[in-house]
Amino acid sequence: MYGLRDSLIAGSLALIATPILLASLSLASAQVMTSANYQIHQDSINFGGGLSTSSSYTLESTAGEVATGDSQSTSYKLRAGYQQLDRNFISLSAVPPVTMAPPIPGITGGTANGTTTVTVTTDSPAGYELSIAASDNPAMQKGGDSIADYAPLGDPDFIFTTGASDAHFGYSPSGADIVGRFKDDGGACNTGSFDSDLACWDGLSIADAVIAGSAGPNVPSGTVTTLHFRLSIGSSVVQASGTYTATTTLTALAI
């Protein structure tokens, strides 16, 4: 009986103590506030101060801090007090919906293109990683109909190629920070150091695929990555007409 009581009480203590410890850690070290296009973390416990908000920014003021420094105009960077030494800020610009054009005739086939850009800004000393994933498999869906994801053999294809009997949806990232998989030597991908225009195509997947990253901070201007999307329907494919949608998620990770 004692053993059972011991077990119950000690187990309960473990169950209680661990969440308390976890809660205390998270309360004191990092509370994250996010919106569609910004993230503020490392909130702090202070006496005085408070939150000032508008539709486009949130600023926390603090009171009773000793050190201040690093203010910078025209580039929205301000650090004051002890938080100035925190280095894991990251932001991801909001990406508007992409409407590909032109519409593709369902019988004769054709190609539609769409482009968008995303800016990642971080002051993390170790840099960041930007990855992309689709919500569905295949990504492009319309009710019960779908269009296959572009599927290169191994490395991305330097040229987007779709046969007469195929229909594919793919993407190609470009920018200063794209990973080696999407760089090229002018004829092949995952080799060389070029970022050729509209080259190195891959298909979306429900698993995150890293498309860009850096080994250091890029504040205050951040780094722009351009995402080209392409959907091509072969001439002998009869694709059900309608609007197809690929719900896509970009994830920026401060390393």
Largest CA-CA distance found in the chain, in angstroms, rounded: 80
Question: Taking CB under 8 A as the rule, does residue 14 contact other proteins?
Answer: yes
Question: Taking CB under 8 A as the rule, does residue 79 contact other proteins?
Answer: no
Q: In the complex with other proteins, which residue's Cβ is closer, 74 or 153?
A: 74
Strand partners, 90: 122
Question: Taking CB under 8 A as the rule, does residue 199 contact other proteins?
Answer: no
Do residues 87 and 95 touch, judged by C-beta distance below 8 A? no
Residue 85: φ, ψ to 5°: -90, -5
Strand partners, 148: 168
Work out which of 31, 32, 137, 151 binds other proteins, going by CB under 8 A.
32
| x-marked contacts with other proteins along 35-54 as a string, rule CB under 8 A | -xx-x-x-------------
Q: Is 23 helix (H, G, I), strand (E, B) or coil?
A: helix
Question: Taking CB under 8 A as the rule, does residue 64 contact other proteins?
Answer: no
Token representation of residue 138: 């295949």
Work out which of 58, 60, 95, 166 binds other proteins, going by CB under 8 A.
95
Do residues 210 and 105 touch, judged by C-beta distance below 8 A? no
- Closest to 204 (Cα-Cα) out of 249, 155, 160: 249
- 190 burial class (0-12, 13-18, 19+ CB within 10 angstroms)? middle
Work out which of 69, 125, 163, 180 binds other proteins, going by CB under 8 A.
125
Work out which of 101, 144, 154, 197 binds other proteins, going by CB under 8 A.
101
Minimum distance from residue 2 beta carbon to other proteins (Å): 3
Question: Taking CB under 8 A as the rule, does residue 4 contact other proteins?
Answer: yes
Question: Taking CB under 8 A as the rule, does residue 206 contact other proteins?
Answer: no
Question: Taking CB under 8 A as the rule, does residue 112 contact other proteins?
Answer: yes
- Closest to 148 (Cα-Cα) out of 156, 157, 136, 133: 136
Binding segment toward other proteins, per CB under 8 A, in 53-61, 103-111, 148-156, 157-165: 103-111
Q: Write out the binding residues for other proteins, residues 212-241 only, by CB under 8 A.
A: 216-217, 219, 221, 229, 231, 233, 239-241
Do residues 72 and 220 touch, judged by C-beta distance below 8 A? yes
Work out which of 49, 60, 77, 82 binds other proteins, going by CB under 8 A.
82
